[in-house]
Copies of this chain bind each other. A is one copy, B any other.
Amino acid sequence: MKKEGLHCDFASKTAPRNDRQNRSRLYKHKGAFKWKGIKPERYKPSGKDWSDIVRQTLIGSRGETARFHLRYFEIAPGGSSSFELHKHEHVVVGIRGKGVCVVGSRKLRLEFLDTLYIEPGMPHQLRNPYDEPFGFFCIVNARRDKPKILSQRD
């Protein structure tokens, strides 16, 4: 079997590499929850309502026509996302370590492959109160509304 390069572009053999959006691509996992061809980004420019989160956008920033985006987030021990709500849905899948998701008035523990659907308009927050990184996939609609940040809660 032919071994493919990392995040190889195998859809277009004639067009220059960057001329074509929405092409088939493979993003190889390098280990340690990093992917070849995917740059870790800071979650938001700054903010007092979140901390210690890194995002990797696996699907959604390269002109893909899919109606959803796939991102991998990692929250350092002690960190959390904003407590927020929005009209779009979230699907969260635990991948690395464990964490907590506040959903409305509940706190749910998320571990490997636990899958959480968050309905539109439900206040939520991801937290990592543990001593190892908490990594998870978050799948969202490609078109989505801006989150409304809520007051921090315990």
Nearest Cβ in chain B — how far from A112, in angstroms? 6
> With a CB–CB cut-off of 8 A, which chain B residues contact A64?
89, 117
Interface stretch (choices A43-51, A74-82, A101-109, A145-153): A101-109
Cα separation A96 to B52 with both chains bound (whole Å): 29
> With a CB–CB cut-off of 8 A, which chain B residues contact A119?
11, 22-24, 65
| A116 in complex: contacting residue of B1, B24, B122, CB < 8 Å | B24
Task: Determine whether A4 belongs to the interface, using a CB cutoff of 8 Å to chain B.
Answer: yes
Q: Is the CB of A3 within 8 A of B109?
A: yes
Q: Encode A19-45 as 1/0 by CB contact (under 8 A) with B.
A: 000111111110001010000000000
A122 and B29 in contact (CB under 8 A), knowing A4-B108, A103-B24, A139-B68? no
A117 and B59 in contact (CB under 8 A), knowing A106-B2, A139-B139? yes
Q: Encode A112-150 as 1/0 by CB contact (under 8 A) with B.
A: 111111111010000000000000010101110000000
Instruction: Give the B-binding residues of A (Cβ under 8 A).
Output: 1-4, 8, 10-11, 22-29, 33, 35, 58-59, 64-68, 70, 88-89, 91, 93-95, 100, 103-104, 106-120, 122, 137, 139, 141-143
Nearest 8 CB-CB pairings of A with B? A29-B113, A68-B68, A66-B89, A27-B115, A67-B67, A24-B119, A67-B141, A10-B106
